[in-house]
Structure 1
Amino acid sequence: MKLTFPHPIIILLSFIFISGAATYFIPSGSYERVLDENTGREIVVPGSYKVLPDVDVSLVDMLVSIPDGIVARADVLVLILLLGGAFFVIEKTGALKAGIESLIYTFRSNPQILFYILGIFCALCGAVFYMSEEFIGLMPVLILLANKTRYDLRAIVCISVGSSILGAAFSPFNPFGSLLAMDIAQVDPAEGIVFRILFLLVALILWVFYHIRYGKSKSVNEQAEEVQKPQITWAHRVILALMLSGIGFMVYGVAIQGWDYNQMGILFFVIGFACGLVGGLGLNGTARTFSAGFSEMIFAGVIIGLAQAIYLILNQGMAIDPIIHGLFQPLEQLPNQVAILGLYLSQALIHIPVPSASGQAVLTMPLVTPLIDLLGMSRQIGVLSYQYPTTLMDMMTPTNGTIMAILAAANIKYNHWVAYLWKSWLLLMAISLIAVFSGYLWFS
């Protein structure tokens, strides 16, 4: 029988039962927590750990934790459904494809300018809604761009798909990553926006420059295709304007007005319906497309719920604080910089068996947050040490189904992809690690 890598749901179900079994072996314990009047958050009191009477989680409780976990993260699930459904509608109107084709045609004689514009556009989409699956349908356009500019297709995929992943990794507003982690860590999303945007810009500029510099195809293709003028209608223009306005308004709402998930979700629910009507889908067609988008996004919501179930089990068995205590003791005598490096590398490795960034946030941030408190560092460091390596691993790890589907659509073998990518990927990882260490000084 051929062995295959387990499905993410199987992986998380395994963790659920492993967590339940672990409560029978991990002695229950707890730290004392007090309310910090300056931040309004509960923080762990150093040195207050004590062993408590042992609590074991039964098999029935393990099973019940699955729906409980989904219910507990209902706010995130609703945002994912509304946001994902809206962009599914936008994609189905053809506006997104037409916009990218129009960019390619307009700057067909100046590919370097085009690459920077394409990188910025994709990074913006990645930063706000982590555009990923949409690239599968855009692959014929990207292949055409590679042929026209005589660039290696892998470089074009990096400038487009890679920039979207980069944008999601460095974003202050990615609801599937940074916002979720900040919510769990009880960190104000408006705090550190300037810091994150600065490193986003630095990383993006260096990323695109690298692939412009080293992505030129070494073989000359005499049969390079000519870019045809795209058919971009007034409806496409209005839809793209609505989408970009919505992104800008969401950034304003989160940064200035302190919006939560519900306000972000309803904004794009309205924009999605408006785009569907402008795009000629009609009321029923827009509703059906939204429904199809919901079905595409429900998997991500279930993954988040399963990851939350793991936390609920460990919390019920009073095993979280003992785990933190076990992690903290070896780190206590180490410099904070070494502890930060350990957290960064741990999050990167965890993302291989847990390929959902949102699921990993729910799984690890409840453990990282009190650990960061005990180390005397800002919780922003815990968020950054999760946010950067977790999402950047999506470019490299074969457990990420979306990147593998994109490579298949582009007819790029995984080993050829890694052979081209690894140097620039290490550059991004280095920049993000510098960002985490810089955050240690910035937020101290």
Structure 2
Amino acid sequence: MKRTEPDTPTVDKKKSLPDSYVLLFAMLIIAAVATWFVPAGSFERTSDSGVAMVIPDSYSSVPANPTTLYDFFMSIQSGLIGSAGIIFLVLTIGGAFAVLDHTGAIQAGIMQLIKRTRSKKYALIVAVSTVFSIAGFIGALQTAVIAFIPIGIIIARAFKLDAVAGVAIIYLGAYAGYTIGGLDPITTGFGQEIAGLPIFSGLWFRSIVYVAILISTILYLCRYISRISKDQGRSVLGSTPFPTDVDANTSIPEVFTRRHKIVLGYFTLCMAGYLVGVFKLGWGLNEMAGLFLVISLGTALIERISANHYVHLFVKGAQSMLYAALIVGLARAIVVVLEDAYVLDTIVNSIAVLLEPMPRILAALGMYVFNLGFNIIISSASGQAAIVVPVMAPLADTIGLTRQVAVLAYNFGDGFTNIITPTSGILMASIAIGGVPWIKWLKFVMPLLCIWIAIGAVALSVAVMIDLGPF
């Protein structure tokens, strides 16, 4: 799926919204300034399990290390290096999908699906979002969701929607499941292991919350689609529902040929192989990038694309993803600044001290709110778990909460704000692929986030009242 910098309109510059890069750079400046005022401190850490986890009650002050001008600009380089896996994955996906786009197989397959469902777009959209949410629930789609955003854009084009709807069908579908992560070994599994709970315990409770989150997401998405279907002017993107280069693409093929079926079958087989690799072999970003190289090469052979033409298509597709790829590194730079200045541990310790004297439900909700905010800084689920859960789990014992409640507070907090946090490389790459500016996405998704937060608050309160235990 081709991609250029979003929204380069001819409108009055005074009225145009700041680019996502501008917003992230401003946040980086704020983070750097904050390091001069927030006291530096650090927990001691142990790496017995292979992951550096904090030791409770080990916090101590350390010499201040505020960000200098040199550190500020080096943080961007460090962010790019630290995010290299995601950056090269995005570039590789761009190249692979350029080859797939050339065949027209995905577009033709979606049109065939639409014809078979007799244009029941809501049924199709609900089905697609639900399937992706299940994949998110089992932890199979956190990073891989980037690969499917172009398919969402194709669906949105076919139904004459907008790029926001195209991204949301896939991304919000996947994250409606990932936010709960009932069977996700990286979020729930790792958090429960740190807290000393049986892995995937409390699944029945998480499943109920998952259903509530999924239903609210589908209703919200369908309401938006209904609104813009009746009046395209009500799209959050205004009069330009897709980037110009997306609209300029060739029309979607009407005929679903035998070769199209072979290409799609090959693509499906490769993705199924990746899922097996995730659960059996521990595959991650690097393996997915390699897989998309295999997909692009195999597709070129099936379509009989010459070597020179393949290189041209792949490089052009990767170039179109450069905006989406580099924004990941800038987002990561914010975390680099805060980590290097030793202020993150200070924030965690301060919240723990504040929560300790509170009543049980208020303390649980306090943990929840803290994790919602902390996730905007540390969007890595495992990274947040390694810092927060070792502190919150024993704190829960002191307050009289179960450790399951503490892990739920981490789960919900880590999951929900993933759909808005600009430090998330996955989110920023996903919306950039669709050509959606972060401010526009924020305008679209904030009401849904408020609904999710309310559901999480109710669920957490219930968990406290019933003393949700390890099973």
- Alpha carbons of structure 1 residues 140 and 231: separation in structure 2 relative to 1, 3 Å: same
State whether structure 2 residue 293 is matched by structure 1 residue 269. Answer: yes
State whether structure 2 residue 393 is matched by structure 1 residue 361. Answer: no
CA–CA distance in structure 2, aligned partners of residues 179 and 92 of structure 1: 37
Q: Is the CA contact (8 Å cut-off) linking 1:123 and 1:167 kept in structure 2?
A: yes
State whether structure 2 residue 109 is matched by structure 1 residue 104. Answer: no
The C-alpha deviation readout for 1:364-388, integer Å capped at 9, x for no partner, is 9756741332111677863552333
Alignment-derived partner of residue 29 in structure 2: 17
CA–CA distance in structure 2, aligned partners of residues 216 and 197 of structure 1: 28
Q: Please, what TM-score do these two structures have when normalized by structure 1?
A: 0.69
- Alpha carbons of structure 1 residues 347 and 248: separation in structure 2 relative to 1, 3 Å: farther
Q: Is the CA contact (8 Å cut-off) linking 2:190 and 2:385 kept in structure 1?
A: no
Kindly state the Cα deviation for residue 78 of structure 1 after the two structures are TM-superposed.
2.5
Q: Is the CA contact (8 Å cut-off) linking 2:36 and 2:67 kept in structure 1?
A: yes
Alignment-derived partner of residue 397 in structure 2: none
Kindly state the Cα deviation for residue 114 of structure 1 after the two structures are TM-superposed.
4.4
Q: Is the CA contact (8 Å cut-off) linking 2:133 and 2:174 kept in structure 1?
A: yes
CA–CA distance in structure 2, aligned partners of residues 197 and 273 of structure 1: 40
State whether structure 2 residue 278 is matched by structure 1 residue 251. Answer: no
Q: Which one-letter code corresponds to 1:164 in the other structure?
A: I
Which structure 2 residues correspond to residues 333-348 of structure 1 after superposition, within 5 A? 333-334=357-358, 335=360, 337-343=364-370, 345-346=372-373
Which structure 2 residues correspond to residues 176-255 of structure 1 after superposition, within 5 A? 204=214, 208=218, 230-255=254-279
Alignment-derived partner of residue 388 in structure 1: 416
Runs of at least 5 residues in structure 1 that lack an aligned partner in the other structure: 144-152, 221-227, 351-358, 408-413
CA–CA distance in structure 1, aligned partners of residues 327 and 185 of structure 2: 17
Which structure 2 residues correspond to residues 1-400 of structure 1 after superposition, within 5 A? 2-35=14-47, 37=48, 39-108=49-118, 114=124, 116-120=126-130, 127=141, 128-130=144-146, 131-143=148-160, 161-170=167-176, 204=214, 208=218, 230-334=254-358, 335=360, 337-343=364-370, 345-346=372-373, 350=376, 361=379, 366=383, 369-376=386-393, 382=410, 384-391=412-419
Q: Is the CA contact (8 Å cut-off) linking 1:69 and 1:312 kept in structure 2?
A: yes
CA–CA distance in structure 2, aligned partners of residues 379 and 41 of structure 1: 18
Kindly state the Cα deviation for residue 139 of structure 1 after the two structures are TM-superposed.
4.0
Q: Is the CA contact (8 Å cut-off) linking 1:31 and 1:45 kept in structure 2?
A: yes
Kindly state the Cα deviation for residue 275 of structure 1 after the two structures are TM-superposed.
1.9
CA–CA distance in structure 2, aligned partners of residues 270 and 193 of structure 1: 38
CA–CA distance in structure 2, aligned partners of residues 439 and 9 of structure 1: 40
Q: Which one-letter code corresponds to 2:110 in the other structure?
A: I
Q: The residue matched to 2:58 in structure 1 has which SS?
A: coil
CA–CA distance in structure 2, aligned partners of residues 275 and 194 of structure 1: 43
CA–CA distance in structure 2, aligned partners of residues 26 and 115 of structure 1: 46
Kindly state the Cα deviation for residue 269 of structure 1 after the two structures are TM-superposed.
1.6
- Alpha carbons of structure 1 residues 309 and 233: separation in structure 2 relative to 1, 3 Å: same
Kindly state the Cα deviation for residue 339 of structure 1 after the two structures are TM-superposed.
2.9
The C-alpha deviation readout for 1:96-121, integer Å capped at 9, x for no partner, is 11111101111218777545545456
Alignment-derived partner of residue 235 in structure 2: none
CA–CA distance in structure 1, aligned partners of residues 167 and 214 of structure 2: 12
Kindly state the Cα deviation for residue 309 of structure 1 after the two structures are TM-superposed.
2.2
CA–CA distance in structure 2, aligned partners of residues 60 and 179 of structure 1: 39
Q: Which one-letter code corresponds to 1:168 in the other structure?
A: A
- Identity of counterpart residues, as a percentage? 24
The C-alpha deviation readout for 1:40-74, integer Å capped at 9, x for no partner, is 43322222221222223321122112112211222
Q: Which one-letter code corresponds to 2:149 in the other structure?
A: S
Q: Number of residues paired by the alignment? A: 396
- Alpha carbons of structure 1 residues 320 and 347: separation in structure 2 relative to 1, 3 Å: closer
Kindly state the Cα deviation for residue 124 of structure 1 after the two structures are TM-superposed.
8.0
Q: Is the CA contact (8 Å cut-off) linking 2:31 and 2:338 kept in structure 1?
A: yes
Q: The residue matched to 2:46 in structure 1 has which SS?
A: strand
Q: Is the CA contact (8 Å cut-off) linking 1:87 and 1:272 kept in structure 2?
A: yes
- Alpha carbons of structure 1 residues 429 and 262: separation in structure 2 relative to 1, 3 Å: same
Q: The residue matched to 1:57 in structure 2 has which SS?
A: coil
Kindly state the Cα deviation for residue 299 of structure 1 after the two structures are TM-superposed.
2.9
Q: The residue matched to 1:86 in structure 2 has which SS?
A: helix
Q: Is the CA contact (8 Å cut-off) linking 2:129 and 2:174 kept in structure 1?
A: no
CA–CA distance in structure 2, aligned partners of residues 365 and 306 of structure 1: 20
